[in-house]
């Protein structure tokens, strides 16, 4: 009978584990339609601090514009250093999730002819073009 007690204990633990996992299978993985959509916050310093764009940032903007077929030279209209409230860099896309942490970065707006391009930078020199729905 000495071996019976450990076997009973093992059986009890197994039933407990199976019972707990069985209850977890009843969870509906789809989000509730009454849940409000995810909202991002505006940057901490929305006006930003004046910034002189780095050569790497300007080169990245030139490359991005070229990839869009824009080969004319551009003029920097606005360049500010901003701490963004999340990974959306102040330009969230509907349905997309972002890191919820402060992100030091920059906003550099350039003009090519009459068209302006609003570029956002996070910690690195990779630009994100902010194209807000109009």
| pLDDT higher than 80, residue 73 | yes
- pLDDT of 19 reads 53
Please list, in sequence order, all residues whose beta carbon lies within 8 angstroms of the beta carbon of residue 113, skipping any fewer than 6 positions away: 72
C-alpha 81/C-alpha 91 separation (Å) is 15
Indicate the pTM of the whole model. 0.64
Confidence of residue 38 (pLDDT cuts 50, 70, 90): low
Tens-place pLDDT, residues 1-20: 555 555 555 555 555 555 55
Report pLDDT digits (tens) over 78-118. 999 999 999 999 999 899 999 999 999 999 999 999 999 99
Q: Residues 37, 89: contact at Cβ < 8 Å? A: no
Residue 30: pLDDT above 60?
Answer: no
How far apart (Å, rounded) are the C-alpha atoms in residues 31 and 52? Answer: 44
Cβ atoms of residues 79 and 49 within 8 Å? no
Q: How far apart are CA 24 and CA 26, in angstroms?
A: 5
């Amino acid at each position: 009978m000495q071996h019976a007690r450990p076997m009973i204990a093992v059986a009890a633990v197994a039933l407990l584990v199976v019972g707990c996992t069985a209850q977890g299978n009843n969870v509906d993985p789809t989000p509730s339609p009454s849940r409000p959509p995810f909202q991002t916050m505006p940057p901490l310093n929305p006006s930003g601090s004046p910034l002189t764009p780095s050569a790497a940032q300007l080169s990245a903007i030139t490359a991005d514009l070229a990839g869009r077929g824009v080969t004319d030279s551009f003029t920097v209209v606005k360049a500010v250093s901003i701490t963004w409230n999340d990974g959306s860099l102040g330009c969230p896309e509907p349905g997309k999730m972002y890191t919820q942490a402060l992100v030091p970065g920059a906003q550099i707006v350039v003009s090519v002819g009459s068209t302006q391009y609003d570029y956002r930078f996070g910690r690195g020199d990779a630009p994100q073009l902010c194209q807000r729905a109009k």
